[in-house]
């Protein structure tokens, strides 16, 4: 069992070294070779279109920030990319699965690390491959680059030099220095250990822990477990010779010497006998079923060698009849210990408070945040990304999945907070504002929805959820209540709803209105009163209220027993909308309802209407839809600029179809209450391209490109928003129903929990107003 660095999975850029993966090898070569070669590029973040732009970016304008930084070095964080730039540094002496391949050959790996930093935490990276063999040479080279970077990630440097390099650089540099091969595995497996101990109902301080492997990762992980509460006397470490006993203290290096034990000499099998936890950071296939059976009741097994774990998942599970909490470095088994759950978010939190170090408190905060996240309900998008396999806290789910976007919002703030509390931070961030900054990094839609959800939380309202027995709706209700966005009322069979909530492990007692409750009589009376002259009998009214939660929810809202309503998750759009129109109807100042989608791009937001309701709107309808959509935009703090779309530009084609949007513009221009920009008819590119709008059509009423696109027909609107979403890379939020008398929204049948929460938040804001 050789001493080697962690073999924990990073399946994002490595395949397994076997004949079966030759196809993957060839695909990877083509992937890297395709123009432009590699995986990273540098992009500008400021305009460079004019001579003035260039004079600001470089000489002579650049002299001003240079002088400021010369006077105060901290200004570099304000004027340059330093605060979001990490150096990924390696000499290629211990590359995962490849060994000592040298600096040049390690470059694809370091670029890959940069991809992960950017993909998961929006951190920019320069990869630095040093042709240096000694610790002195690495330290001097890296220390000299401190003015360039906000942090240093050391990668694939062999032990024991890696310990010295990191320690000396941390002492010498005033920015975070982090050796991921040591601490990444420690943090992620530490999070798993916290939850595993809870699952098997044992205290961390009581766990007898055996390590297979005594390299850099094993040493760092053992140290970290001590900081989580494990006891040194309960840790047994084995290397290729066997148990590292006190008798061997003189023959091992100083780092192994930290974990010598007074127990008798023996091999790994001896060490595992009676152990509560096995931590494998060595080589595959060295643990068999008999060794697993020798462990204590309900054992925890972290077999993290890659590509083949010390003991495979099936062998470990089949060896025992009791609970086995099993984690590996592989993505095809539960509980993958993957360093990508750690380093991007550690650095995100550290960079955002301009930390001088990543200390033990910050690492512990990261592990604790990961452990707590695993206990929460998992978003639908994450479940889908992993083949719809069940993801619920327990033996097979003690750490979050790498593709879970919530990791950023949980780990980075926890790390930042720990940096402030431990004195490592140079800046302090308000928690709410910091979360909004993080939301913005993951896309405009999150930033926009944060505006609405914050408004909702200021005054939560009661919202009826018509598809109350559906699992997604129950999960959404839990989140709405847990986050303080709304007070949900689930409509459906109470026994089914409570049974589903218990199965999902949701610890809340939702308010439920079922079809058999006596109080529904009053709702049947109300429905009959509203629809008796439309052919509805009293008996039919009671049947509808008890059988169809869309009617029940609509009447409850009409009666004032709830403030808003959502439906549509288990119904076609039209059948879900009909009861709302019959019972709630449109606003007193509205004749029509309409469906609006908000499309968010990287730096742009566009509202599209009508996309779901009115098939062939006339000019009056288009004008009304525009007013409603403008009101909606303002709820998102967006000042509306509306374009009436057509295939004509300002009269260039004169037909009945082009006259309709043109007439709608005239109606809006003549309306003294319209206080936003609107113009048309115009083609879609005229509406959204500044050069066309201001150049060719400088007379337009719009001061900037439109952020509201009003389509001439339902067909055009539905096609248009879907093309923008699929080909333009936009995220779509909606459909949001406007023009109704009370806050109601109709979901799409394939909507996820987050979509339900978003529309519920919007409905609450509607109700507030």
Whether pLDDT at 301 is above 90? yes
Say which residue, 15 or 435, is predicted with more confidence: 435
Q: What angle do CA 83, 638, 79 make, to 5 degrees?
A: 20
At 238 the three-state DSSP class reads strand
- pLDDT tens by residue, 218-262: 999 999 999 999 999 999 999 999 999 999 988 888 889 999 999
Question: Buried (b) or exposed (e) across 697-728, using 16+ Cβ within 10 A?
Answer: eeebebeebbbbbbbbbbebbbebbbebbeee
State the SS3 of 708-729: EEECCCHHHHHHHHHHHHHHCC
Whether pLDDT at 15 is above 70? no
Question: In whole angstroms, what is the distance from residue 722 CA to residue 732 CA?
Answer: 9
pLDDT (average), residues 310-317: 94
Specify the residue for token string 């008890």.
Answer: 546
Contact 756, 476 (CB under 8 A): yes
Burial of 143 (0-12, 13-18, 19+ CB in 10 A): middle
The first and second tokens of residue 386, run together, are 């992993």
Could you tell me the pLDDT band of residue 11, with boundaries at 50, 70 and 90?
very low
For residue 441, the surrounding DSSP H or E stretch is helix 431-441
The first and second tokens of residue 186, run together, are 């420690």
pLDDT (average), residues 478-501: 93
From the candidates 113, 256, 461, 754, give the one annotated as an active-site residue. 113
For residue 538, the surrounding DSSP H or E stretch is helix 538-547
pLDDT (average), residues 119-126: 93
| Phi and psi angles of residue 114, each rounded to the nearest 5 degrees, phi first | -65, -40
Contact 240, 2 (CB under 8 A): yes
Q: What angle do CA 221, 224, 225 make, to 5 degrees?
A: 90
Report which of 338, 405, 306 is spatially closest to residue 184, judged by C-alpha positions.
338
From the candidates 31, 46, 58, 313, give the one annotated as an active-site residue. 58
Contact 617, 718 (CB under 8 A): no
pLDDT at 2: 38
Whether pLDDT at 687 is above 60? yes
List Cβ neighbours of 60 (8 Å cut-off, separation of 6 or more).
none
Could you tell me the pLDDT band of residue 515, with boundaries at 50, 70 and 90?
confident
pLDDT at 12: 38
pLDDT (average), residues 351-366: 96
pLDDT at 454: 86
Handedness of CA 129, 131, 135, 137 (dihedral sign): negative
Residue 113 is a catalytic residue = yes
Whether pLDDT at 6 is above 80? no
> Can you list the positions of beta strands (E) in 664-706?
677-682
Q: Provide the CB-side half-sphere exposure for 642 (13 A, CA).
A: 32
At 103 the three-state DSSP class reads coil
pLDDT at 637: 85
pTM value > 0.85: no
The first and second tokens of residue 676, run together, are 């936003």
Cα 421 from chain centre: 25
DSSP string, 639-692: --EEEEE-SSSTTSS-SHHHHHHHHHHHHHHT-TT--SEEEEEE-HHHHH-HHI
- pLDDT tens by residue, 654-666: 999 999 999 999 9
Mean pLDDT of the chain: 90
pLDDT at 92: 95
pLDDT at 16: 38
Could you tell me the pLDDT band of residue 708, with boundaries at 50, 70 and 90?
very high
**Which residues on neighbouring strands pair with residue 679, listed in sequence order?**
643
Q: How far apart are the first and last CA of the chain?
A: 68
Question: How many residues appear in the chain?
Answer: 769
Whether pLDDT at 307 is above 60? yes
pLDDT (average), residues 692-697: 87
For residue 464, the surrounding DSSP H or E stretch is strand 461-465
Say which residue, 330 or 237, is predicted with more confidence: 237
Report which of 614, 622, 706 is spatially closest to residue 662, judged by C-alpha positions.
622
Question: In whole angstroms, what is the distance from residue 130 CA to residue 137 CA?
Answer: 9
Report which of 571, 643, 651 is spatially closest to residue 608, judged by C-alpha positions.
643
- pLDDT tens by residue, 584-621: 998 888 888 999 999 988 778 999 999 888 899 999 99
Q: What are the start-end ranges of the H helices in 122-231?
A: 135-143, 161-172, 180-199, 216-227
pLDDT at 22: 54
pLDDT (average), residues 151-177: 94
At 533 the three-state DSSP class reads helix
Question: Buried (b) or exposed (e) across 362-382, using 16+ Cβ within 10 A?
Answer: bbbbbbbbbbbbbbbbbbbeb
Task: Tell me which range, 5-19, 199-213, 501-515, is most confidently predicted by mean pLDDT.
Answer: 199-213
Contact 313, 328 (CB under 8 A): yes
Could you tell me the pLDDT band of residue 447, with boundaries at 50, 70 and 90?
confident
pLDDT (average), residues 205-217: 94
At 210 the three-state DSSP class reads strand
The first and second tokens of residue 421, run together, are 């509390």
- pLDDT tens by residue, 376-419: 988 888 887 787 777 889 999 999 998 888 899 999 999 999 99
Report the share of the chain in percent with pLDDT over 70. Answer: 97
- Pairing verdict, β 85-90 and 151-154: parallel
- pLDDT tens by residue, 264-280: 999 999 999 999 999 99
Question: In whole angstroms, what is the distance from residue 612 CA to residue 596 CA?
Answer: 8
| Interaxial angle between packed helices 135-143 and 161-172, expressed in degrees from 0 to 180 and rounded to the nearest 10 | 30
């Amino acid at each position: 069992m050789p001493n080697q660095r962690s073999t924990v999975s990073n399946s994002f850029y490595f395949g397994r070294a076997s004949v079966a993966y030759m196809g993957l090898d060839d695909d990877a070569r083509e992937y890297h070779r395709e123009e432009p070669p590699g995986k990273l590029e540098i992009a500008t973040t400021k305009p460079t279109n004019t001579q003035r732009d260039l004079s600001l970016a470089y000489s002579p304008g650049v002299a001003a920030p240079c002088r400021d930084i010369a006077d105060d070095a901290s200004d570099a964080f304000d004027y340059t990319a330093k605060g979001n730039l990490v150096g990924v540094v390696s000499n290629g002496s211990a590359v995962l699965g490849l060994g000592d391949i040298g600096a040049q050959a390690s470059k694809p790996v370091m670029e890959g690390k940069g991809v992960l930093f950017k993909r998961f935490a929006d951190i920019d990276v320069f990869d630095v491959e040093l042709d240096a063999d000694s610790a002195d040479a690495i330290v001097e080279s890296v220390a000299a680059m401190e003015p360039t970077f906000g942090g240093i990630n050391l990668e694939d440097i062999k032990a024991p030099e890696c310990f010295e390099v990191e320690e000396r650089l941390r002492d010498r540099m005033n920015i975070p220095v982090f050796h991921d091969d040591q601490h990444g595995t420690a943090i992620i497996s530490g999070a798993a250990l916290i939850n595993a101990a809870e699952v098997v109902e044992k205290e961390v301080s009581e766990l007898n822990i055996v390590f297979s492997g005594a390299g850099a990762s094993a040493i760092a992980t053992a140290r970290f477990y001590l900081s989580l509460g494990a006891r040194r006397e309960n840790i047994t470490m084995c290397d290729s010779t066997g148990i590292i006993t006190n008798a061997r203290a003189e023959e091992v290096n100083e780092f192994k010497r930290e974990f010598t034990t007074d127990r008798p000499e023996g091999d790994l099998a001896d060490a595992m006998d009676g152990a509560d936890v096995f931590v494998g950071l060595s080589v595959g296939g060295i643990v068999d079923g008999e060794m697993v059976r020798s462990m204590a009741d309900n054992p925890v097994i972290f077999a993290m060698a890659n590509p083949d774990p010390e003991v495979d998942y099936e062998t470990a599970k089949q060896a025992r009849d009791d609970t086995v909490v099993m984690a590996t470095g592989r993505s095809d088994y539960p509980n993958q210990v993957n360093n990508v759950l750690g380093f991007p978010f550690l650095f995100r939190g550290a960079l955002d408070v301009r930390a001088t170090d990543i200390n033990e408190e910050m690492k512990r905060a990261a592990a604790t945040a990961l452990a707590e996240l695993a206990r929460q309900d998992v978003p639908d998008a994450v479940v889908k990304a992993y083949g719809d396999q069940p993801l619920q806290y327990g033996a097979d789910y003690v750490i979050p999945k790498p593709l879970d976007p919530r990791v950023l919002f949980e780990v980075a703030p926890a790390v930042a907070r720990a940096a402030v509390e431990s004195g490592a931070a140079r800046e302090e961030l308000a928690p709410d504002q910091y979360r909004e900054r993080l939301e913005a990094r993951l896309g405009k839609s999150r930033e926009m929805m944060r505006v609405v959800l914050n408004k909702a939380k200021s005054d939560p309202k009661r919202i009826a959820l018509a598809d109350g027995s559906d699992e997604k709706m129950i999960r959404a209700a839990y989140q709405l209540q847990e986050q303080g966005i709304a007070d949900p009322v689930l409509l459906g069979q109470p026994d089914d709803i409570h049974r589903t909530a218990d199965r999902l492990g949701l610890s809340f007692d939702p308010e439920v209105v079922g079809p058999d409750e006596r109080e529904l009589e009053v709702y049947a009376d109300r429905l009959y009163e509203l629809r008796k002259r439309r052919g509805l009998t009293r008996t039919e009214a009671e049947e509808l209220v008890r059988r169809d939660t869309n009617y029940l929810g609509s009447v409850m809202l009409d009666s004032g027993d709830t403030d808003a309503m959502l439906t549509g998750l288990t119904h076609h759009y039209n059948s879900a909308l009909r009861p709302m129109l019959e019972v709630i109807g449109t606003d007193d100042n509205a004749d029509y309802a309409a469906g609006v989608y908000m499309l968010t791009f990287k730096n742009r937001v566009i509202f599209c209407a009508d996309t779901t309701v009115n098939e062939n709107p006339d000019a009056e309808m288009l004008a009304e839809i525009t007013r409603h959509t403008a009101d909606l935009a303002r709820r998102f703090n967006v000042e509306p600029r509306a374009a009436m779309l057509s295939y004509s530009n300002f009269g260039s084609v004169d037909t009945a179809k082009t006259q309709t949007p043109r007439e709608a513009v005239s109606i809006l221009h003549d309306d003294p209450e319209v206080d936003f920009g609107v113009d048309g008819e115009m083609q879609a590119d005229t509406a959204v391209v500044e050069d066309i709008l201001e150049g060719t059509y400088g007379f337009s009423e719009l001061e900037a490109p439109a952020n509201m696109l009003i389509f001439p027909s339902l067909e055009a609107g539905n096609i248009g928003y879907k093309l923008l979403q699929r080909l333009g890379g936009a995220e779509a939020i909606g459909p949001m129903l406007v023009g109704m008398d009370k806050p109601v929204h109709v979901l799409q049948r394939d909507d996820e929990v987050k979509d339900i929460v978003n529309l519920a938040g919007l409905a609450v804001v509607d109700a507030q107003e």
